[in-house]
Amino acid sequence: FNEAWKKTKVTWYPIPIGIGITFIAFQHMFRVYAREKRKKQDTSTEIRPIIIGPWQVYLIDTLPLRALSRLWGRINNEYNLPVWLREPCFKFYSWIFKCNLEEIENTDLKSYPNLGSFFYRSLKPGVRPIENAALVSPADGRVLSFGLVNNGKVEQVKGITYSLDAFLGHKRKEGKDDVIEQEKHVVTSTHIADEKEFANVNGIAYSLDALLGVDPAGATKQDSSVGEDASVRFEENGFQKELAVVTKFATPFSSAHKVREGNTLYFCVIYLAPGDYHRFHSPTNWVVEMRRHFAGELFSVSPYMLKMLPDLLVLNERVALLGRWRYGFFSMIPVGATNVGSIRIDFDKALRTNRREDLPVGTYTEVSYKKASKLLGGQPLRTGDEMGGFCLG
Amino acid sequence: STIVLVFEAPFEFRFCMKPGQKIKYGQKIGEI
């Protein structure tokens, strides 16, 4: 080796580096060109939010949650169990999820054709006395968090704060640290969110406007009650977009909704476990003036998941029921999850959730209940009235 | 699934529950 090392003559050749660099440049150029072409061809406005969080979140985000939820729903709602299998199956489900079978109205388990109908069971009259209070619980469940909405910020689980304004889909300026200043950005009612818009950074400040939806700009007012879809077509950045069912515009919540003197905003988050009774009722005497259906992801909303992905409630499918009660503004927002992606509102037969054709995350459609009651300008509800429920899939 | 309530109420409003508490529908969660 020593000999060879010493004796071998070293000859220097100019290797063609330039050709190598040119080849790589061309390769990169073709790749960019192909990507831009694919983007142009892809007319769908499917924009995926950027999910940022622990590794478990990335893992879950790669799953087709909505498709899995629809499959779960198809299995449980469309395939009836053989009669002999029903009782053991529902008893097993009740044992796992601690359902209380004494309280259900129809105790003949063989009469439930499938798990979907068992899941949507009703309770015996009188097993849930309605207490005489300003506010009662709308459903069986566990209190995750509650408190004051301090200038638009909501305390989420474990101290991570939302500011409710972005909760409605406002565009955000690049955030500094955990509280992102909300730009006054009016969201069209079928707003295709920018990729950044729903960037889900742990601890990001969310706001009420992301939860309830704000007043779209520039769209014409359409008068239509529940079920009559009106739509306005318009062109934006080469995309045909449709402003769906824009009926009545609530004013931008955070700016125009002035809380009355001596009042303030409160919030409360209630988690329904898989074994809980899944119909929900009116928590007080109020009038529902409109609903906003946000198509979205269907992450699990368990406390574990909420801790890992604190901005979850903004990403998930939800129906924001907005109205008023004797002290001012009142809203109730049922939020779907992977196993219960369907939200049913008894007085809104037109509502369909967890549909394949729904617009992607960051869009919502709005329907006014003005015609439900001319006098009150909305759907009147008394404390304890059944409003609807969550269904499997 | 989850239900979020967001509402306006006077400063005297008080929640009568604790985080993590199990509740039933119809049970009092707040009073003024």
Distance CA A391, CA A34 (A): 43
Phi and psi at A253, nearest 5°, equal: -55, -55
- Residue A196 pLDDT > 80, yes or no? no
Can you tell me the mean pLDDT for A346-357?
87
pLDDT at residue number A391: 92
A339 or A208: which leads in pLDDT: A339
A334 in contact with B, Cβ within 8 Å: yes
Predicted confidence at residue A51, as pLDDT, reads 61
Q: Is the ipTM of this complex over 0.90?
A: yes
Interface probe for B, chosen from A72, A121, A146, A294 (most Cβ of B below 10 Å), is: A146
Distance from CA of A176 to the nearest CA of B (A): 27
> Is A135 at the interface with chain B, CB within 8 A?
yes
> Does A268 lie at the interface with B, CB-CB under 8 angstroms?
yes
Look at the alpha carbons of A305, A307, A311, A314 in this order and tell me if their dihedral is positive or negative.
positive
Nearest-10 Cα torsion for A245, A251, A252, A254: -140
* DSSP annotation string for A98-122: T--TTSBS---GGG--SHHHHHT--
Distance (Å) from the alpha carbon of B25 to chain A's nearest alpha carbon:
4
Q: Is residue A186 pLDDT above 60, yes or no?
A: no
> Which residues of chain A neighbour B20 with C-beta distances below 8 Å?
142-144
Residue A192: the pLDDT is: 28
Please, what's the b/e burial string for A25-47 (b: 16 or more CB within 10 A of its CB; e: otherwise)? eeeeeeeeeeeeeeeeeeeebeb
- From chain B, pick out residues whose CB is under 8 angstroms from the CB of A340: 1
Could you tell me if A206 lies within 8 Å of chain B, comparing CB atoms?
A: no
Residue B16 to chain A, least CA–CA distance (Å): 10
- Asked if the model's pLDDT at residue B12 lies above 50, the reply is yes
Q: Which residues of A touch B14 (CB under 8 A)?
A: none
Q: How many CB pairs under 8 A join A and B?
A: 172
Which residues from A are below 8 Å from B13, CB to CB? 134, 266, 327
From CA A80, how far away is CA A134, in angstroms rounded?
Answer: 42
Q: Determine the distance in angstroms separating the CA of B12 from the nearest CA of chain A, rounded to an integer.
A: 9
- H or E stretch at A5: helix A2-7
Closest listed residue to residue A187, CA positions, set A361, A364, A358: A364
pLDDT over 80 at A200, yes or no: no
Listed residue (A126, A210, A123) closest to A168, CA to CA: A210
On chain A, the residues whose CB falls within 8 A of the CB of B3 are 138-139, 141, 269-270, 272, 280, 332-335
Chain A hits for B15, Cβ within 8 Å = 146-147, 266, 268
Per-residue pLDDT tens over the stretch A16-43: 888 889 999 999 999 999 888 887 776 5
CA distances from A174 to A1, A140, A171, A198, A284 (A): 61, 39, 10, 12, 39
If you average pLDDT over every residue of chain A, what do you get? 73
pLDDT at A252 over 60: no
Interface test with B, best of A65, A98, A102, A137 (most B CBs within 10 A): A137
A256 contact residues in B (CB cutoff 8 A): none
A130 close contact with B: CB closer than 8 A: yes
pLDDT for the residue numbered A228 = 36
- Which DSSP helix (H) or strand (E) runs through A293? strand A286-295
What distance in Å separates residue B18's CA from the closest CA in chain A?
7
**C-alpha–C-alpha distance, residues A80 and A86, integer Å:** 9
| Higher per-residue confidence, A5 vs A190 | A5
- CB-CB under 8 Å, B7 with A136: no
Question: How many Å apart are CA B22 and CA A134, to the nearest integer?
Answer: 19
> What band does B26 get if pLDDT is binned at 50, 70 and 90?
very high
Write out the residues of chain B at the interface with chain A, using a CB-CB cutoff of 8 A: 1-11, 13, 15-32
Report whether pLDDT(B9) > 90: yes
Give A211's pLDDT tier (boundaries 50, 70, 90). Answer: low
- Chain B hits for A141, Cβ within 8 Å: 3, 22-23
CB A392 within 8 A of CB A303: no
pLDDT digits (tens, 9 = 90+) for A42-73: 655 555 555 666 777 777 777 788 888 888 88
Residue A256 has pLDDT above 90, yes or no: no
